[in-house]
Structure 1
């Protein structure tokens, strides 16, 4: 009798090992293991990660005698139904539904969402690829979403029921290209008390993001690609904030925890002015700042700008529409406003096709009074075409940085040119060669410590 129990126990352990192995496979590969033997037949049915899309259900197209045949909506629905019918229906960590299904398939989507609810799914991803189906209302009923910890929806319409009480355990919430109103966003945020990560992108109907109730757990906020958004006003204190849109006011209950900020403006704005007088100047403990701006004119800055005592990493992405007013040497100011900076990245795209690389006939290089920078170790400058003010800025940084370990300079443009197209390949090649030559002739020769790399 004891021997039989030992064999049964061993078999159970083997089953656990096989289940763990299969759970690491994509769902289509996991299903294929059922043909190996009777022992493997039903192991995949407890798969904890159901990623149901055109790739995992079957390749989006396959080759037939008449050519490539694409997976149809009905084939996708039938395949998903077959998988869910055979699945044990429990212990699902993540369920993803990603396929272009229009409104006539709403019934099937409802059934799949019901399966996720019944299976107590922790992470649910629904991406209907631009079809604008309404997200099933039962997901927002009391207790139905109580097990959800992560919810990501894309390309759907969403309207909260009047009796929505919130998701009790939701920590991550992502909305991408969702048709939703300001009131529903406010209601959702106010009733998800454990929310730690919130991302809202390409939701074009949104004009305001506000939360009257405190969001004590929110750490990460991402707001992407907004042209109509007028303001963000959150009763919370995140640590990370990423924004991509037009220049608007930001207001948080407290900015004492905000240490990592990334802002990309879709409209023109002077980067230096925004750093020293805009939103970053209200962040007392800012450690990392990425700022993308397009500039058309030079700004007169205050005599004693705010200093960032905690800033360690600054990344500037600058699209500069050059005229005689623009002066890149102005960016030497960053060494003064960030006295403890350790890493500086300066990426430029300069729309100055009429400009020429620096020549001695253009006049002496200006020498700005060096600012003794005691902490800067790494500098990376891209888009270095060898213009006079670019050379002057590079030399100023080199002379001011006491403990600089590495300074990389490249003519290669490493940011999207967005508002301007390259003139032609000949122009870009000419600028590349000229930038490298000028950097070698004027910056490398001034490098006594051999820290400059081209």
Structure 2
């Protein structure tokens, strides 16, 4: 106890001495330690200043150039982009510059009429709501996939007006989402081509249309149009005049034109050639895809089918790859000369390298053609034609004589392949029943010997 009290008195005496005579001073510290403390203080002040600067001048996405904003938004889905509006007050309108507005109302759902109507109204309301909020700035693509038709013209017109006012570069309107569809349906929506002609500055570069009707004329032009796809489109008017004004199709190094035409004409021997007569001066096109339906009530072999009905012009001078999908509705394939008409139009494409021809005859139990050896066409040779592929080849008369003509003209042919199987996705199981494989192989061997060119036959599975 006594020792404790002595220690306490000693500590208090020491404290009093320090307070009265020996107080602590910074200058009493060693110089090296003073320098170290000063450096620490400077670093702390620097960090505080930097933090204050960042707080006052924070980074804002909306301050970036519009092109960069559009690029960043394009990495998100439309739903994700719209969700950014809750991040902060400054981001509420950021999504309204989303560059690619793609609406798909073709998803599978309940098939009953009430459910279909409800889903249809939901889709329309969704599109209307988004385009009303969208600023229209930086719109790159506007795409609609749904089953709306002519009765919904007011709604569709409003959407197209938005796309044109926003100067969308790509417009895709698919009003028939049935993959097996092979022709336009009734009551087609009249796509307003004139809406593009009202714009002071041409803007559209790619146009995709499916299951609509268009009325082209020479007063409408798409000077920046680089790609045109028409599938199941009813064309009423001057398509030639319209395409005359599509100067970028001529300037483009590699353009692709896709056409699907449905014809209900008496003179079906002009159907396949219409694409050559109806699309003049598309000099730069290298790839041409054509889908054609040929319908006839009476099967009659045309004696004029071998004759070129018009003198070849300089159109399609650069065409290298030609693909046809042809559906032929006839009772007797051997009495229908439809596909043979293609032979005369090959002269319109002297640089052609590849022909791909897919055929489907809506006829069963028709026998192979064995009469006659074909005729000589006397057309100018094709020095660049290398590859020919034909599917749905059953040795019908028009098919046989068309291939004779190609073999005669193609003096540089390297690969000729005939495939008895129907490759067009239209009830293929039914259409591929009863293929006379042995007869087709025998015909291929005889024809190969006659023309001195190898012909390969694809074996059915």
Q: TM-score by structure 2 length?
A: 0.60
Q: Which residue pairs with 2:400 in the alignment? A: 391
The reply to whether residue 248 of structure 1 matches residue 236 of structure 2 is: yes
**Per-residue deviation, 1:411:** 0.7
Q: Report if the CA contact (8 A) 1:221-1:242 is conserved.
A: yes
Equivalent residue in structure 2 for 1:437, among 435, 441, 460:
441
- The alpha-carbon distance between structure 1 residues 262 and 137, as it changes in their structure 2 partners (threshold 3 A), is closer
**Per-residue deviation, 1:184:** 2.1
Q: Report if the CA contact (8 A) 1:180-1:205 is conserved.
A: no
- The alpha-carbon distance between structure 1 residues 448 and 207, as it changes in their structure 2 partners (threshold 3 A), is same
User: Any residues of structure 2 matched to 1:35-184 within 5 Å, and which?
Assistant: 93-97=75-79, 118=93, 120=95, 121-123=98-100, 125-127=102-104, 129=107, 130-133=119-122, 134-135=125-126, 139-140=130-131, 145-146=134-135, 167-177=136-146, 181=154, 183-184=157-158
Q: Could you list the per-position Cα deviations for residues 39-72 of structure 1 after superposition, in whole angstroms to 9, with x for gaps in the alignment?
A: xxxxxxxxxxxxxxxxxxxxxxxxxxxxxxxxxx
Q: Report if the CA contact (8 A) 2:272-2:292 is conserved.
A: no
Q: Which residue pairs with 1:283 in the alignment? A: 282
Q: Could you list the per-position Cα deviations for residues 83-137 of structure 1 after superposition, in whole angstroms to 9, with x for gaps in the alignment?
A: xxxxxxx967222459xxxxxxxxxx9x869659645355455546544221376
**Per-residue deviation, 1:327:** 4.6
Q: Which residue pairs with 1:85 in the alignment? A: none
**Per-residue deviation, 1:191:** 1.6
The reply to whether residue 335 of structure 1 matches residue 308 of structure 2 is: no
Distance across 1 between alignment mates of 2:188 and 2:391: 37
Q: Could you list the per-position Cα deviations for residues 206-249 of structure 1 after superposition, in whole angstroms to 9, with x for gaps in the alignment?
A: 313222215533221100122xx242565413121111223433
Distance across 2 between alignment mates of 1:365 and 1:333: 15
Q: Which residue pairs with 1:202 in the alignment? A: 175
**Per-residue deviation, 1:338:** 1.0
Distance across 1 between alignment mates of 2:145 and 2:338: 39
Q: Report if the CA contact (8 A) 1:293-1:317 is conserved.
A: yes
More strand by share: 1
**Per-residue deviation, 1:315:** 0.8
**Per-residue deviation, 1:400:** 1.5
Distance across 1 between alignment mates of 2:418 and 2:280: 29
Q: Which residue pairs with 1:262 in the alignment? A: 258
Distance across 2 between alignment mates of 1:208 and 1:126: 18
Name structure 1 gaps, 5 residues minimum. Answer: 6-89, 99-108, 147-166
Q: Could you list the per-position Cα deviations for residues 387-435 of structure 1 after superposition, in whole angstroms to 9, with x for gaps in the alignment?
A: 2331222122123212222122101111144xxx67x85x733235256
**Per-residue deviation, 1:274:** 1.1
Distance across 1 between alignment mates of 2:337 and 2:327: 12
Q: Which residue pairs with 2:53 in the alignment? A: none
Distance across 2 between alignment mates of 1:452 and 1:369: 25
Q: Which residue pairs with 1:358 in the alignment? A: 369
User: Any residues of structure 2 matched to 1:374-453 within 5 Å, and which?
Assistant: 374-417=383-426, 428-433=432-437, 436-446=440-450, 448-450=452-454, 452=456
How many residues were matched structurally? Answer: 324
SS of the residue 2:209 aligns to: strand
Q: Report if the CA contact (8 A) 2:244-2:280 is conserved.
A: no
Q: Report if the CA contact (8 A) 1:113-1:139 is conserved.
A: no
Q: Could you list the per-position Cα deviations for residues 348-385 of structure 1 after superposition, in whole angstroms to 9, with x for gaps in the alignment?
A: 112343632022xx233323225310111211111100
Distance across 2 between alignment mates of 1:257 and 1:434: 50
SS of the residue 2:401 aligns to: helix
More helix by share: 2
Equivalent residue in structure 2 for 1:231, among 204, 211, 215:
215
- The alpha-carbon distance between structure 1 residues 337 and 131, as it changes in their structure 2 partners (threshold 3 A), is same
Pick which of 394-403 and 262-271 moved more: 262-271
Name structure 2 gaps, 5 residues minimum. Answer: 1-38, 44-71, 108-118, 177-186, 250-254, 297-301
**Per-residue deviation, 1:256:** 2.8
SS of the residue 1:260 aligns to: strand
Distance across 1 between alignment mates of 2:379 and 2:79: 58
SS of the residue 2:189 aligns to: coil
Q: Report if the CA contact (8 A) 1:394-1:443 is conserved.
A: no
Q: Which protein has the larger Cα radius of gyration, Structure 1 or Structure 2? A: 2
Q: Which residue pairs with 1:346 in the alignment? A: 357
Q: CA RMSD in A?
A: 3.7
Q: Which residue pairs with 1:303 in the alignment? A: 310
Distance across 1 between alignment mates of 2:339 and 2:159: 41
